[in-house]
Homo-oligomer: A and B are copies of this chain.
Amino acid sequence: MEAVLVGLGSMGFGMACSLIRAGIPTLGVDISPAREAALRERGGAGGPREAAIAAADAVVIVVVNAAQSDAVLFGEGGIAAGMKPGAVVVNCTTVPPDHARASASRLAARGIHYLDAPISGGAARAAAGRLGVMASGTEAAFAAARPALDAMAETVFELGDEAGAGSAMKAVNQLLAGVHIAAAAEAITFGMKLGLDPARTVEVISKCAGTSWMFENRGPHIARGDYTPHSAVDIFVKDLGIVSDIARAARFSAPVASAALQQFLAASGAGHGAEDDAAVAKVYARNAGLELPGGG
């Protein structure tokens, strides 16, 4: 197999390294020539982009949203036009299920397979080839993508033979993840207002029925006052925004996710969009007259 990976952000770069480590020649494509060069230094393929795309058995896409995915695949100089029939697009971008179905349909017209393959896990797991992939697509799409999936993922959840199911599951996961981060911030600051030390709250609740994966992961950021952006506030503005868009289109009332989205919007609006998503706690602190650890 030969591969092209589009989008060398913190997730995509690690995934490209995992492909290379598995012996799959991989050309990295990014808007930043510096990132492309950095991947070549890590063993990435070189040479002209057009030739690599024409030769690729799999093109893995790890961009920010549906609009970027469209630009990459179908825009001016888009990749789809240069791919060979029988190759597969493995789209790891978080997009609405309808968008995944539409992309699959457009590529099928060119004889190109499409795997709807959003990912779960942070940059560290991406670099280690240990992501979770929520995948759906035809049997042929899975078969064509298999070597790349094996290189990048610890677990591939196979969610059926149609594009859209993978993106639907990703939306469900992001709804919960976003709600749980906002709830962690709400609960920890609520405890502070009642006189509880945030580090002690994190320690105790992590062992009680109120815990969540996000509480245990992001709670310590709040307790330490460390807002280094492992995943930024604006990522949840985007992902809960996608959830909100899908829910509105489906006439699905999602009041808890809505409330969480408003808090992330407030955090971004107050200037914290590029900080770690745990900085949603700053909205709660400001609204409650509290000083967070680290002085936030």
Taking beta carbons and an 8 Å cutoff, which residues of A are in contact with B? 97, 120-121, 132, 134, 155, 157, 159, 164-165, 168-169, 171-177, 179-180, 182-184, 186-191, 193-196, 200-201, 204-205, 207-215, 217, 243, 246-247, 250-260, 262-263, 284, 287-289
Contact = CB atoms under 8 A, between A and B. Distances in A.
A180 to B, nearest CB: 6
A205 B173 contact: yes
Contacts of A184: 176
A124 to B, nearest CB: 13
17 contacts: A157-B207, A169-B191, A172-B190, A173-B204, A173-B209, A175-B187, A176-B212, A177-B209, A179-B186, A190-B243, A190-B247, A190-B252, A209-B213, A209-B217, A211-B213, A212-B214, A256-B260
Given A174-B210, A209-B217, 14 more contacts: A165-B196, A172-B190, A172-B194, A173-B205, A173-B208, A176-B211, A183-B257, A189-B252, A190-B254, A193-B250, A212-B212, A251-B289, A253-B288, A256-B260
* Copies of this chain in its oligomeric complex: 2
A287 B204 CA distance: 36
Nearest to A283: B253
B196 A169 contact: yes
A205 to B, nearest CB: 6
A175 B183 contact: yes
B196 A187 contact: no
A189 B164 CA distance: 16
Give the secondary structure class of A's interface.
helix
B215 A176 contact: yes
Contacts of A189: 252
Contact of A172 (B201, B212, B247): B201
Contacts of A213: 208-212
A121 to B, nearest CB: 7
A175 to B, nearest CB: 5
Contact of A258 (B176, B259, B284): B259
A174 B186 CA distance: 12
Contact of A212 (B175, B211, B252, B259): B211
A159 B212 CA distance: 21
Contacts of A171: 190-191, 194
B168 A204 contact: no
Contact of A200 (B159, B254, B257): B159
A183 B256 contact: yes
A201 B214 CA distance: 18
A210 to B, nearest CB: 3
Contacts of A165: 195-196
A180 B181 CA distance: 11
A36 to B, nearest CB: 29
